[in-house]
Amino acid sequence: MPTHSMKDHVRKILVEIGEDPDREGLKGTPYRVDQALRYLTKGYSQDVDKILNNALFNVKYDEMVIVADIDFFSLCEHHLLPFFGRCHVAYLPDKKVIGLSKIPRLVELFSRRLQVQERLTYQIAETISKKIAPLGVGVVIEAQHMCMIMRGVEKQNSRAITSAMLGVFQTQETRMEFLDLILRGRTR
Ligand SMILES: [Zn+2]
C-alpha cells in the first residue's frame, strides 16, 4: 500500500551515503525515487486474469507458438539493482492459445517486481501452463545483472541464461526445436 514515508526513507539513505539531501540537485530526488520504484514494481498490482481477459482462444492449431526477443527490465531482489535482457517464450497448444500480444504483457507483469531470474523464468512458464493447459511450455531468459556488472565482479559482459521447460518441452526434440528457432532468429 502506498504510504507517504518512502520519500522520507530515501532522504535518510541520501544522508547515510554522505550526501546533503537539501542541495539543489537532490531536492526532488526522494520524490523521483519514490515514483520510479513504484513504477518498476507495478507488477505487484497487476492481475494475470485481467491481462488475459478475452485473449484466450479455442483454435485448431497444433504447431509451436513462439514469441522471441521480448525485452524486459526487472530488479534483483538481493540488491534492488536492475537486471534486464530478453525473454523467449514458446508453447505447444492443445486446443487453446493466448493472444500473442498478451505474452509480452505477462513477461512485464512478472518482471516489474523484485525478482530472481530463475523464478521470473518459471513464473512465466507456469502461468501459461495453468491458463491454457498446453502440451508444453518453454521459457528462456538471457539477462545482464547490474549487481554483477557494477560491483566489479570480473565478467562484465557475462549473461545469465535460465530456462523453464514444462511438459513436452522436457523432451530433447521439442526443446531443441525451440532453442533452434530462437537462435536462428538472432540478428541483434
Ligand atoms: Zn543482485
The CA 128 to ligand 1 mean position distance, Å, reads 26
Q: What pLDDT, in 10s, does the model give residues 10-55?
A: 999 999 999 999 999 999 999 999 999 999 999 999 999 999 988 8
Q: 162, 117 in Cβ contact below 8 A?
A: yes
Sign of CA dihedral 56, 104, 69, 169: negative
The CA 35 to ligand 1 mean position distance, Å, reads 21
Among residues 126, 142, 144, 147, which one is catalytic? 147
Shortest CA distance to 59 belongs to which of 104, 93, 34? 93
> Is 88 tagged catalytic?
no
Joined together, the cell numbers standing for residue 23 give 542541495
pLDDT of residue 1: 56
Sign of CA dihedral 150, 43, 87, 174: positive
d(CA 143, CA 158): 9
Q: What pLDDT, in 10s, does the model give residues 119-175?
A: 999 999 999 999 999 999 999 999 999 998 888 666 677 889 999 999 999 999 999
Shortest CA distance to 73 belongs to which of 30, 117, 118? 117
User: What is the helix (H) or strand (E) element at residue 181, kind and residue range?
Assistant: helix 172-184
Q: 81, 145 in Cβ contact below 8 A?
A: yes
Q: 60, 97 in Cβ contact below 8 A?
A: no
State the alpha helices, DSSP H only, in 24-99. Answer: 29-40, 48-52
Task: Report pTM.
Answer: 0.91
Q: 59, 93 in Cβ contact below 8 A?
A: yes
CA distances from 152 to 7, 48, 87, 134, 162 (A): 29, 37, 25, 42, 22
Among residues 87, 108, 123, 145, which one is catalytic? 145
